[in-house]
Structure 1
Amino acid sequence: MKTHVKALVVGGGAVGASIAYHLARAGWDTLLLERDELTSGSTWHAAGLLPLFNMGYATSHIHDYSVKFYKRLEAETGLNAGFYVVGNLRMAQTQARMDEYMLYAATAETVGIPYEWMTPAQIKERWPLVRTEDLQGAIFHPSDGYINPADVTQAMAKGARQHGAEIMRRVQVDGYRWTGSEWIVSCTKMVEKGGNLVPSNERFEITAEHVVTATGNHAQRTARLLGIKIPAIPVEHQYIVTEPDPALRDYRAAGNPEHPVLRDADAKWYVREERGGWILGPYERNAPARFLYDVPESFRADLFPLDLERIEEEYMSMIHRIPSSETVGLKDDYNGPICYTPDGNPLVGPAPGLRNMWLAEGFSFGITAAGGTGYYLAQMMVEGEAEIDMASLDPKRYGDWMTTEYGARKNEEAYEHVYILHHPDEERPACRPLRTAPCYDRVKALGAQFGCVNGFERPNYFGPVDAPEGFDHDARSFRRGGWWQYAVDEARAIREGVGMIDATAFTKHLVRGPGATAFLDWFTCNRLPKVGRINLTYALTEAGTTRTEYTIVRLAENEYYLISSGALTTYDGDFLRKAAEDRMADFGWIDIHDVTTQWGVFAVAGPRARDLLNPLVRDADPATVLSNKRFPWLSVRNIELGMCPVRAVRVAYTGELGWELHHPIEMQNYLFDQIMAAGEGVGLKLVGARAQNWLRQEKSYRAFGNELGRDATPLEADLPRFVDMTKDFHGKDAMAATGIRSKCCTLLIDGPADADPWGREALYLGEEKVGRLTSGGYSVAFGKSIGMGYVRPDLAVEGQTLKVRMFDRLWEATVTCDSPYDPKNETIRKDG
């Protein structure tokens, strides 16, 4: 038995087996531990479906890799993984569902996933057992199908062994201890007693340089052992197997091929053939979360009692869609735990606060994701970074504010939403409001319609306070929704007058100490600002790609205030602290504090911004405080607005004259009331995040998680002005060696009259796919759609005409100059 390994994988389901395979294939000495038998968790009762359909770019890549990987496993291992490539037919009862499929198809094209469109008549002709008169159409994936979960897991396990990995069954991990360079993992040999699996007296330790947890339903125990939070909690999932259907048997006996996996998303189920009958898998309402704190020792490859009443609606809709199934009886039923996360995406990447500890938890579609997760996680571990941006799956997208109750309720919601229309502007209601700025009630009373960012409520737009009859704030659309005109009015207010945005959710870190300056100079790629000034900069990955975007405010010689994305507070803070710890011996003592919840932020912007703020300024010469002479662009000043001390930063993400007003959170309501009172005389309009997103695209301001990420360097993002190549900084050599594989640009789009791009669409030159959008929206300055994205470097030239895929056709898109609105920054530097 190995007692010292490069990588220890804990968990022997499909995900753990894939990780062990890919690490071993990469040449790492790997050991996998499983507390029971391989596949004894959720893997054994999974239906084995392989749905490629996913709106996320990273997850689409993961699923695509899995499908291709499983097809070649048998040639490598000699084991048949039981892959039945029957295709996947996703049906639509409504035009809104077809719109969803068309948006997905645009994403699929960026990844290279094949698909076909089918009319109801074409469906009926190919599969006459399916009722189609109430369908709008379908999207068909010919390369998709289903697989035997146990077989594919065993095939990956055999492949891992062939590459040198060792697998030990019936070993439970009881503790983790970090020595500063490696992990000491305490283990207990498990034995069967009376049908249960219980700890024996045989205990031992394994030393590992890296540990990966893929513990599935046991994620809460793993979190407790590691002293962290992992919002992966199982939810009950039922599916039933019918007796043989005579009509289906006759259909197959006539020489017809197997039906594809059928999905009636509007009815919330999937169906596939199973030995002459059908498997029905519903995603019903009110499925409960289980094992919120622990999995009972007596629960092994067990199931819960079936709750047929809960899935009655879905069962009846299957009979409607496949009428011949009405007379067949039930043969088997399964109701088992499947892990979810609050947003339905798995947790893949480094654990928060820990070194060389990697999480692969919360897989609601574990069979589909297993192959790709192993591949891309192994890249992160072995090479330092994956070839795609994995930030959307990073475990640190949830902070310490997350509780067990929150995870359970949101995971139940995520389960219920598997087949709910996935609008790009969707906002799910469970567990809200939870994190609110002090002004929440005030802006809500003024019509704020909120989105949720890192648990924070943030206004998306401001609708009518007294909504007209029939107006639905919750109405979503794949086209221009009910909120669109309100966002247009808000964007126009900032361009023509003055608006205010609640930006309290921004992440804020205070970095200070004797080593702060030298550290930040090495940590970021731009030159540091002088005292009283600010600068935009980037922290890079080891691969030279963009890890984090920071606005750095220099408060003193060795004191800095760092502002970054509100969605990724823990993600940014963890990276910052670990980097500082690694280099403290080189640079000296560094003190880092997360002060996000100590400071509120109002962003005031527009040509009349000074008119709004001047009456509130308390100074010997208040009329000059906000002038260019006393307060130039890209500087910071401590000012007083009424009785509120404000750290004012002269910068505006909207590209207009403006200031970010960072203020003590406890004084937020006082400041809000003062600004609103002053705003009555200058036409102040409250503005939400959607209008801000459009405005920043008119200025070609890149957004982290969209244009900026771990799959592109700042130079590929076309930001050389923010990279100081005369100094040494982390990731510099790797960035330079990467070159320019693709280049970011802004495009003006002549799209459909009722829709704008969402930032997930493929870009074409003739018939050739040459790039993809990463952001999209509407431009009030140009009166048409706008987008940003990456294209082949030779095409990122002003005036280049391309095409963008929106819905069922290609629309003209023209590459414009960088910052098409006010390219010389004359407006933002306006004096007064």
Structure 2
Amino acid sequence: MKTHVKALVVGGGAVGCGIAYHLAKAGWDTMLVERDELTAGSTWHAAGLLPLFNMGYATGHIHDYSVKLYARLEEETGLNAGFTRCGNLRMAQTDARMDEYKLYSSTAETIGIEHEFLTPQQIKDRWPLVRTEDLKGALFHPTDGYINPADVTQAMAKGARMAGATLERKIQVNGYRWTGEEWIVTCERMVDRGGNLVGAGETFEIHAEHVVTATGNHAQRTARLLGIKIPAIPVEHQYIVTDRDPALAAFRAEGHPEHPVLRDADAKWYVREERGGWILGPYEDGAPARFPYEVPAGFRADLFPLDLERIEEEYMSFIHRIPSSEEVGLKDDFNGPICYTPDGNPLVGPAPGLRNMWLAEGFSFGITAAGGIGHYLTQMMTEGEAEIDMASLDPKRFGRWMTTEYAARKNEEAYANVFVLHHPDEEREACRPLRTAPAYDRQIAAGAQMGQVNGWERPNYYAPQGFSDHDSRSFRRGGWWQYARDEAQALRETAGLIDASAFAKHEVSGPGATQFLDWFTTNKLPKVGRINLTYALTETGTTRTEYTIVRLAEDRYYLISAGAWADYDSDYLRKMAEEMGGEFGAVDIHDVTNQWGVFALAGPNSRAILADLIRDAEPETALSNKRFPWLSMREIELMMAPVRAIRVAYTGELGWELHHPIEFGRYLWDLLIKAGEKHGLKLVGARAQNWLRQEKSYRAFGTELGRDATPLEAGLDRFVDLDKDFNGKAAMQDKGIRSLCVTLLIDGPDDADPWGREGLFANGERVGRLTSGGYSVGFGKQIGMGYVRPDLATPGTKLKVRMLGNLYDAEVAEDSPYDPTNARIRVDG
């Protein structure tokens, strides 16, 4: 057996085999080790569904790739993957569910996933066994279906072997050690030479340049061996198999094709045909997390007892939807562990803090994702980055603050939410509130409706007491919309106060700090007391993260980045500094996110509010352009609060970010509220802020900015200094301009705004997609940002945007359509 390989994949389920297949085909010397048999984990009891439906852009691409791969595996390997392409019918009982499907349709259209809408009568005409009188309609994927999990896994395994990979079974990994150049993986053989299970088998080592863990339900053991956190914990999933349904048998005997996979999303189940009967898979409330610390040694290809009472409601709704099933008995049942994560998406990408260690964990739809994950993760490993932005799946999107209890409870919630309406404005409620800034109670008392970012509670908007955020959610303008509009209007006219404490914050210092940051980022570094907006690139030249850099001293910098990405940014900063190996001198990096609170005060009256509070030898000029110019930082005192004030505003108005030692948060909040009373100060949440930043064409990381576009494609040339050398520069230039980011003003429907997932069209051809959307108080219409072909990026270009199934007029605006000269930001006083 080999003991030295380029890549070692740990785990022989569908995901592990999919990764080994693609790594081997990419030319890497690859080995896979599995502690039991291939497919012995969740793969063996999976129902094998292949749902193309997914609201996420990256995950949608992953599922689409998998389905296309599985269709051609037999031709390549000679093994039938067991793919039944019967289609997928996703039914809707409510108008809101149909709105969800219309929003999804925009995402599917930008990916190129074939789908169509059906009326209740069309459903009944095709599949008369389905009750339709209480349906609004359905979404149909004709290329969807199901597959035999064991067969598709074995087909990918054979394809991997054909490409040169080695797959070894009955080998358990017990340890990982990084030498600085390679991983030494300690293994134990689980069988003797005769193939018998042993208690303590032969131990040996495998040397690998790269390791990928795809350990499924054993992710917690993997986390312990690696010394990291992996919030992937199994949740029980049960499904039942019925006896033969005579009505179904008669229907098929008449020559009708197999029913598509049926999903009654509002009833929270799926159903498909199985040998003349049905498989019912519910996603009920109350399914418990299992094995939060480690799968017991004796639990192998085992199941849990079925809990029929827990799924009684779903079972009865199945009988309602397919009445012929009422007299059909139960033939078999399965209740096994399937891994989840707190947001339901898998963990795919570099492990936090470790070199050449890659995670592929937490797959609740592992069969659907296996092929696509193998493809895109292989691109990341072999080419430096995938062709799509994989940040939404990055393992570091969950911070180090996360505990086992948090992950278990959120994973249970993610399971129960599989079929819940996925509103773009949804805020899930489990494990909250958790991380709160000092002014949290004050904000709740003022009517704050909270969202959460990286565990932090953050006001989305403010509403009257008794208002229900949960009941106001919608795919159109929800009940919160008017409150956000009023907040945006007030900030434009008087002043608004925003709690931005969730921002990620790092201090970078030391003799090598200046040289390192100059190489690490695209823009010129600011002078002491000034700030610059800049970007760190991937090795393929795309945008890895966005920073506002404040220079505190010659060799000391304060970096501010998106709040949702604190650990993601911290990990990249540290790894890149370590990679340079002291070439620039010593660099100290400290995550100070939890030490500093941030209040953003902006609007025409913001200077007057601060003038009432500032304590300065010359208070009359302390906030003037001369002493405190735009894009500068000053240490100031607001009464008894020491503040690192930065003259910048994400909303495009005169304003300051007031960074303060977090223990002063409650005092400073009260101070600003009191001082703002006579100046028309209004509390403002994140939703109004998001609208306002689009009026200024301010790109946001995770939407306009990501690992699939360069800063030049994002239209950020002014923040890229091509006269200096920086990481990723050559790759960025080699990519050229494939598309360009634009701002669009939209004449949309009266009751809805774009969410940033919609397709853009010119002359009937899809030419791009939105990445952000909302409402503009400055222009009194919808606004959006997105990417289009370069030839269509000229201001004045007429396009169409698809919203809720219809096309609406859109026009490319000049960059920063609101106050393009920044006169309001620079105003003196």
Q: TM-score, normalised by structure 1?
A: 0.99
Summarize deviations over 1:715-766 as a string: whole Å, max 9, x none: 0001100000000000000000000000000000111100000000110112
Structure 1 SS opposite 2:583: helix
Cα offset, 1:767, TM superposition: 1.4
| Residue 592 (structure 1) aligns with | 589
| Residue 417 (structure 1) aligns with | 417
Cα offset, 1:475, TM superposition: 2.4
Does the alignment pair 1:90 with 2:90? yes
2:472 is matched by which residue type in structure 1? A
Structure 1 SS opposite 2:45: coil
| Residue 723 (structure 1) aligns with | 720
| Residue 312 (structure 1) aligns with | 312
Q: What does 1:206-605 align with in structure 2 at a 5 Å threshold?
A: 206-465=206-465, 467=467, 474-605=471-602
Summarize deviations over 1:656-687 as a string: whole Å, max 9, x none: 00000000001111111111110111111010
Does the alignment pair 1:777 with 2:777? no
Q: Distance in 2 between matches of 1:9 and 1:808?
A: 43
Question: Does structure 2 conserve the Cα–Cα contact (< 8 Å) formed by 1:340 and 1:364?
Answer: yes
Q: What does 1:197-212 align with in structure 2 at a 5 Å threshold?
A: 198-212=198-212
Question: Does structure 2 conserve the Cα–Cα contact (< 8 Å) formed by 1:526 and 1:538?
Answer: yes
Q: What does 1:612-761 align with in structure 2 at a 5 Å threshold?
A: 612-761=609-758
Q: Distance in 2 between matches of 1:214 and 1:192?
A: 25
Cα offset, 1:292, TM superposition: 0.4
Structure 2 SS opposite 1:102: helix
Does the alignment pair 1:45 with 2:45? yes
Summarize deviations over 1:396-436 as a string: whole Å, max 9, x none: 00111000000000000000000000000000000000111
Cα offset, 1:198, TM superposition: 5.0
Summarize deviations over 1:1-48 as a string: whole Å, max 9, x none: 000000000000000000000000000000000000000000000000
| Residue 188 (structure 2) aligns with | 188
| Residue 9 (structure 1) aligns with | 9
Q: Distance in 1 between matches of 2:804 and 2:99?
A: 7
Structure 1 SS opposite 2:364: coil
Cα offset, 1:466, TM superposition: 5.3
Q: Distance in 2 between matches of 1:644 and 1:199?
A: 64
| Residue 80 (structure 1) aligns with | 80
Q: Distance in 2 between matches of 1:153 and 1:215?
A: 15
Q: Distance in 1 between matches of 2:744 and 2:45?
A: 48
| Residue 795 (structure 1) aligns with | 792
Cα offset, 1:200, TM superposition: 3.0
Structure 2 SS opposite 1:43: helix
Question: Does structure 2 conserve the Cα–Cα contact (< 8 Å) formed by 1:601 and 1:661?
Answer: yes
Q: Would the alpha carbon gap of residues 6 and 255 (structure 1) be closer, same or farther in structure 2, given more than 3 Å must change?
A: same
Question: Does structure 1 conserve the Cα–Cα contact (< 8 Å) formed by 2:191 and 2:201?
Answer: no
Among all aligned residue pairs of Structure 1 and Structure 2, give the percentage whose two residues are the same amino acid. 78
Question: Does structure 2 conserve the Cα–Cα contact (< 8 Å) formed by 1:538 and 1:547?
Answer: yes
Q: Distance in 1 between matches of 2:466 and 2:609?
A: 26
Q: Distance in 2 between matches of 1:276 and 1:625?
A: 81
Q: Would the alpha carbon gap of residues 504 and 333 (structure 1) be closer, same or farther in structure 2, given more than 3 Å must change?
A: same
Question: Does structure 1 conserve the Cα–Cα contact (< 8 Å) formed by 2:217 and 2:295?
Answer: yes
Summarize deviations over 1:320-352 as a string: whole Å, max 9, x none: 000000000000000000000000000000000
Cα offset, 1:621, TM superposition: 1.2
Q: Distance in 1 between matches of 2:312 and 2:466?
A: 39
Structure 1 SS opposite 2:292: coil
Structure 2 SS opposite 1:537: strand
Structure 1 SS opposite 2:826: coil
Q: Distance in 2 between matches of 1:572 and 1:242?
A: 50
Summarize deviations over 1:225-262 as a string: whole Å, max 9, x none: 00000000000000000000000000000000000000
2:336 is matched by which residue type in structure 1? G
Q: Distance in 1 between matches of 2:570 and 2:273?
A: 49
Q: What does 1:93-242 align with in structure 2 at a 5 Å threshold?
A: 93-191=93-191, 198-242=198-242
Summarize deviations over 1:469-496 as a string: whole Å, max 9, x none: xx65542100000100000000011100
User: Where does structure 1 lack aligned partners over 5 or more consecutive residues?
Assistant: none
1:475 is matched by which residue type in structure 2? S
1:595 is matched by which residue type in structure 2? V
Cα offset, 1:199, TM superposition: 4.0
Q: Distance in 2 between matches of 1:829 and 1:95?
A: 47
Question: Does structure 2 conserve the Cα–Cα contact (< 8 Å) formed by 1:473 and 1:482?
Answer: no
Structure 2 SS opposite 1:666: helix
Question: Does structure 2 conserve the Cα–Cα contact (< 8 Å) formed by 1:463 and 1:473?
Answer: no
Q: Distance in 2 between matches of 1:197 and 1:759?
A: 54
Q: Would the alpha carbon gap of residues 406 and 192 (structure 1) be closer, same or farther in structure 2, given more than 3 Å must change?
A: farther
2:586 is matched by which residue type in structure 1? W
Question: Does structure 1 conserve the Cα–Cα contact (< 8 Å) formed by 2:770 and 2:786?
Answer: yes
Q: Would the alpha carbon gap of residues 159 and 466 (structure 1) be closer, same or farther in structure 2, given more than 3 Å must change?
A: closer
Q: TM-score, normalised by structure 2?
A: 0.99
2:643 is matched by which residue type in structure 1? V
Structure 2 SS opposite 1:827: helix
Structure 2 SS opposite 1:538: strand
1:252 is matched by which residue type in structure 2? R
| Residue 65 (structure 2) aligns with | 65
Q: Distance in 1 between matches of 2:196 and 2:440?
A: 52
Summarize deviations over 1:582-625 as a string: whole Å, max 9, x none: 11421000000000000000000000001111010001111211
1:772 is matched by which residue type in structure 2? R
Question: Does structure 2 conserve the Cα–Cα contact (< 8 Å) formed by 1:189 and 1:199?
Answer: no
Q: Distance in 1 between matches of 2:770 and 2:196?
A: 53
Structure 2 SS opposite 1:622: coil
User: Where does structure 2 lack aligned partners over 5 or more consecutive residues?
Assistant: none
Q: Distance in 2 between matches of 1:192 and 1:234?
A: 30
1:442 is matched by which residue type in structure 2? R
Q: Distance in 1 between matches of 2:619 and 2:478?
A: 43
| Residue 818 (structure 2) aligns with | 821
Q: CA RMSD in A?
A: 1.2
Summarize deviations over 1:292-334 as a string: whole Å, max 9, x none: 0010111111100000000000000000000000000000000
Q: Distance in 2 between matches of 1:598 and 1:474?
A: 35
Q: Distance in 2 between matches of 1:34 and 1:138?
A: 41
Summarize deviations over 1:127-170 as a string: whole Å, max 9, x none: 00000000000000000000000000000000000000000000
Q: Distance in 1 between matches of 2:157 and 2:199?
A: 24
Q: How many aligned positions are there?
A: 829
1:439 is matched by which residue type in structure 2? A
Structure 1 SS opposite 2:679: coil
Cα offset, 1:197, TM superposition: 5.5
